[in-house]
Amino acid sequence: MKVGIIGFARSGKTTIFNALTGAKAEVGAFGSRDANLAVIKVPDERIDALSAVYKPKKTTYAEVQFVDIAPNESAGETKVLDSAALTVLKNVEALVHVVRAFENEDVLHPLGSVDPVRDCKRLEEELQLTDLIVIERRIERLEKENRKDTEYHILCRARDHIESGKSLRSLPLSAQEAKEIAGYCFLSQKPLILLGNYGEESIGKPDPAGLADYAAETGQPLIEFCGAMELEVAQLSEEERAAFREELGLGEESRVRFLQTAYDMLGLMSFLTAGDPEVRAWTIPKGTKAVDAAGTIHSDIQRGFIRAEVVPYDAFMAAGSMAKAKEAGHVRLEGKEYVMQDGDIVLFRFNV
């Protein structure tokens, strides 16, 4: 999965990026002009436990890639996106909007004051406008060429939707229609997580900036963060970390909270493969059929699919080994249409 971190200048994007990924990108680097990139492994106790059983040559966790955009260069700091940002954001599957809710007299907000709800609305408008420009240009072109095809009609609906003040996220599209316009990678169509970056003075205070109300009204997931403190904690040793978090009332590990929200929002889950060469987690959308899950491993396995041998993780662990799970009748044979479940341990049988 690929995630793009966006937000107004000095909202704490790089601070959060570092806290989530353990990277050490320069914070407050107003002069830096490159996006920061990092990959994290998705912690998964099931993978740890299976590795202890199989002692495989290789253990592979699911991965999430983060890109933290550089400050806007061309359009001035009252806007978030410039052409460099648009390029790196094209291929992300989800956006994280770091919303500044902390006060810091030494670090001015580019819009002059700290106002999280205003920032959310402004950024949403910017995403919509960016899409609208692309849509209108394309519609004009299609009209000139007299091509009023399916794509044209979807784009007209998309335009009307944005003109009524809404993001493409809420435009109802059939799977076929979504495919038709997928190539445009519209930004306001991407799922968006709000990440409120609160100052330590707000810890324990209910919704000081009105951000939680806004998130509830718009139906967007909100993660509450204390970026500066999270970053400090992320730099401690593992033993110190847990004690510190508890003392500060920070709750669960920021990375874990983030990943849970992102997986939920995107409707993702993992299935597992286990053997002597490798124990591995694979991320797929909920509702994926066995034959398509096979395709995430290799297109040959999908093409030559015969059946899937499936054992739920809990049943496997209760039995202690694959042989015992089989004896106990927990290993099922499933066909192409089987809907994969979170934590299924799978062996695909296929023809080459």
Ligand X SMILES: Nc1nc2c(ncn2[C@@H]2O[C@H](COP(=O)(O)OP(=O)(O)OP(=O)(O)O)[C@@H](O)[C@H]2O)c(=O)[nH]1
Instruction: Give the binding-site size for ligand X (rule: CB under 6 A).
Output: 20
Residues near Mg ion (CB under 5 A) are 13-14
Residue written as tokens 């971190």? 5
Q: How far is CA 182 from the centre of its chain?
A: 18
Residue 9 binds which entry of ligand X, Mg ion, none, CB below 5-8 Å type-dependent: ligand X
Residue written as tokens 């299976």? 50
Burial pattern 277-298, b for ≥16 Cβ within 10 A else e, equals: eebbbbbbeeebbbbebbbebe
Shortest distance (Å) from residue 28 CB to ligand X: 3
Q: CA end-to-end span of the chain, whole Å?
A: 29
Among 11, 51, 189, 261, binds ligand X (CB under 6 A): 11
Identify which of residues 85 and 281 has a Cβ nearer to Mg ion in the complex. 85
Residue 302 binds which entry of Mg ion, ligand X, none, CB below 5-8 Å type-dependent: none
Of 120, 107, 104, the C-alpha closest to 211 is 120
Asked if residue 227 binds ligand X (CB under 6 A), the reply is yes
CA distance 295 to 290: 9
Stretch that binds ligand X, among 100-108, 161-169, 208-216, 265-273 (CB under 6 A): 100-108
Asked if residue 197 binds ligand X (CB under 6 A), the reply is yes
Stretch that binds ligand X, among 226-234, 255-263, 308-316, 326-334 (CB under 6 A): 226-234
Taking residue 51's Cβ as centre, other Cβ atoms within 10 Å add up to 18
Query: Under DSSP, is residue 351 helix (H, G, I), strand (E, B) or coil?
Result: coil
CA distance 64 to 284: 13
Asked if residue 71 binds ligand X (CB under 6 A), the reply is yes
Shortest distance (Å) from residue 107 CB to Mg ion: 12
Among 9, 88, 127, 155, binds ligand X (CB under 6 A): 9
Asked if residue 102 binds ligand X (CB under 6 A), the reply is yes
Asked if residue 104 binds ligand X (CB under 6 A), the reply is yes
Give the type of residue at 346: V
Shortest distance (Å) from residue 110 CB to ligand X: 8
